[in-house]
A and B are shown apart, each in its own frame.
Chain A
Amino acid sequence: NAGVTQTPKFRVLKTGQSMTLLCAQDMNHEYMYWYRQDPGMGLRLIHYSVGEGTTAKGEVPDGYNVSRLKKQNFLLGLESAAPSQTSVYFCASSYWVRTGGQPQHFGDGTRLSIL
């Protein structure tokens, strides 16, 4: 099993360009999440999905859009990239149980620089 796979691993964009980050998981997890990680800030939740066809905003959703057309894939889009979006982006997935608390499985990140 590959677990959680993120593509691309690195990308450099110019301000105003758009791009899509892809996350794929092969563990049949219901929940998927997009985070960004900045020095000294910890991981911050951008958007998440509790199932195919559903998405919700996290802590820092502005400037990003997401889609979950298939259960195994979760896409993160930047419509008009800004330097403030320079960061490392992590995708994660987890099972759902009523009591919560399932471990999240992370990919190895996409390092994005906006010039």
Chain B
Amino acid sequence: SQKIEQNSEALNIQEGKTATLTCNYTNYSPAYLQWYRQDPGRGPVFLLLIRENEKEKRKERLKVTFDTTLKQSLFHITASQPADSATYLCALGVGNTGKLIFGQGTTLQVKP
């Protein structure tokens, strides 16, 4: 069956450390993968997109990797800050209709 999984447990880290979030999938062949941030009571906000032919993408303190052999994406936040505390969602893009398949999200808590 098709599945997309993110760390179900919350991730707690100390300010200044690097946070690494994992997104694993099975039985999908995504053309691209996106990461979103969601704050309580708000809608998701787009962060980064990486395509199947790209290994790595960076944006300021954010870095995403995409390994289509391992069927895994890693999302890194370097020099983390308490303001980075939120739920992070990964989403697979399949086909060309713009449809996304979302993971259940991982909650990150950065402690001062």
Contacts and interface: CB of A to CB of B under 8 A. Distances in A.
Interface string B69-112: 00000000000000000000101010111111011110000000
Chain B contact surface mostly: loop
Given A101-B31, A109-B42, 20 more contacts: A4-B43, A31-B97, A33-B98, A33-B99, A40-B8, A42-B89, A42-B105, A43-B100, A43-B102, A48-B98, A90-B44, A99-B31, A103-B34, A103-B49, A104-B44, A104-B98, A106-B43, A106-B45, A108-B41, A108-B43
Interface string A1-22: 0001000000000000000000
A87 to B, nearest CB: 14
A50 interface: yes
Q: Which of A4, A42, A45 has the most CB of B within 10 A?
A: A42
Contacts of A92: 43
B102 A100 contact: no
Interface in A40-98: 40-45, 48, 50, 56, 58, 90, 92, 94, 96, 98
Interface residues of B, number: 25
Interface residues of A, number: 30
A50 B105 contact: no
